[in-house]
Amino acid sequence: MGGPDVAPSLFCLLFLHLRFLVSAHIHHPLCPKPVLPPNSKVAPLLSNVSLTCPGCEGDVFWRCGQVECPKRMMKEGRLLLKSIQSKDGKVYTCIKEKQSVCSVELLVEEELEKPVMECYLRHPASNITCEWQKNSRIPRGNKVTLISSRGNKAKATSNPCSYRTYSKKYQCRLHHTEDYTESYYLSMCATSQTDSKIGDAMMVNYRSIMQPDPPIEVTVSPIDFAPRKLQVTWRKPRSWIGNFYALLYEVQYRPENSHQVSSAETSNCTFHIVDAIKGRRHFVSVRAKEEFYGSWSIWSQEANATPWADSAPTEPTEETLQEVSAFYFYTDSPQGDNDEDSGITISPSKPPWYTYVIGGISFGFILLLVLVVLIRQHHKWTSCIAKGTKLNTLYWAVPSGVKSHEKPSANHGDTTETPLP
């Protein structure tokens, strides 16, 4: 089971290890031990030192650099230095009868740290950058160089590195062209006044160290009349020159007071969040990588915004609380039911102000309709009462044997009665 695959893998690892050892051996001549100057003395840091030189006997005094040394430091022609510091590394001169007899250069030896570097490429057509961040203080006279070769058979070259105060790192640059696809063999050499150390050799390919800078100018803004959406925009890093090589982006966002993080990938410099929680501020960051190879950049600075709302509620509404609960229910993380993530205090919800306005208008309209109906009915009833006699004649039949008396006419002389048929 898998036996035939193990041997080739071990052979490849051994082969790569041997190539690193050979590369390191080739680089050693470019990282030699420093040559000590004549008439010099090497002493460890914080040690006690006694300086003397031939002919410095009798009534003599010492000069420490350009000034005369205190007499308490001199004893029987010797100069005694206690618990020496890095600043004590200088030239000491013995003076006898106002003439220089001899000189001794004191070299303070400090422990030299082995360089440990990391290299990256910000763009396929840019130079390779290698950095080393020291964990200890920088010894006096410390110099760092980058030793490189194209392939294990090419001649190694050395490039000086500079110290960046703001980042507290040594930084080296290696010229690279985008048409070169082979591997580089790199190592870093640190040299002090008394010693030198070379870091482990590493083999790098431009594809493996491709890591863009993070996107810049990340902004988040609400979308009008969309309480569940946010628009995210950004710009590609300034170090990503031209449009020939494309970038892939990953957008990461989370609601306020929550550790539940969502993410999505896109090739555009804009993204729409469609599952935002109403009334909750969201924090968004973006990172980038080359379209086909390399690693992701570090995350950009966070930007934040709150989705659109017609009025900013002072307290969470019941609808918002339901959405928060649904957000945790559909989250894959086992911590989705943790109440500490939401940070919401449940309180009675208040109806919006416009509900009162709509209710008042509706009630007034209904009351007006009732009044109109009542007025119309009142007019009908009044008319019917005024015409009650005529209505009786029209709608009720007169029983037989009952005489109907008509209203006397204007002619009072005519009193003749006309019988009913």
Q: Considering only CA atoms, which of 131, 125, 124 is closest in space to residue 146? A: 131
pLDDT of residue 188: 95
Q: Considering only CA atoms, which of 13, 34, 30 is closest in space to residue 186? A: 30
Q: Which CATH class is domain 216-342?
A: mainly beta
CATH placement of domain 112-204:
2.60.40.10
Name the token pair of 280: 């909750």
Name the token pair of 347: 């309180």
**Contacts with 129 (C-beta within 8 Å, 6 or more apart), sequence order:** 119, 120, 121, 122, 171, 172, 173, 174
Rounded (5°) CA angle 7-10-15:
125
Backbone angles phi, psi at 157, to 5 degrees: -125, 160
pLDDT of residue 387: 59
Residues in the chain predicted with pLDDT less than 70, given as ranges, are 1-28, 311-351, 384-421
Q: What angle, 0 to 180 degrees and rounded to 10, lies between the N-to-C axes of helices 388-395 and 353-386?
A: 80
pLDDT of residue 323: 52
User: Which strands make up the sheet holding 262-266, listed edge to edge?
Assistant: 262-266, 247-255, 282-290, 303-305
pLDDT of residue 316: 54
323: phi > 0 → left, psi -120 to 50 → alpha, else beta; which? alpha
What do you get for the CA distance between the two ends of the chain, in Å? Answer: 129
pLDDT of residue 252: 97
Q: Does the fold of domain 216-342 match that of domain 112-204? A: yes
Per-residue CA distances from 57 to 75, 89, 298 (Å): 10, 23, 65
pLDDT of residue 143: 92
- Classify residue 304 by burial, with Cβ atoms within 10 Å: 0-12, 13-18, 19+: middle
Domain borders along the chain are 46-109, 112-204, 216-342
CATH homologous superfamily of domain 46-109? Immunoglobulins (2.60.40.10)
Largest CA distance in the chain: 182
Name the token pair of 146: 């980058």
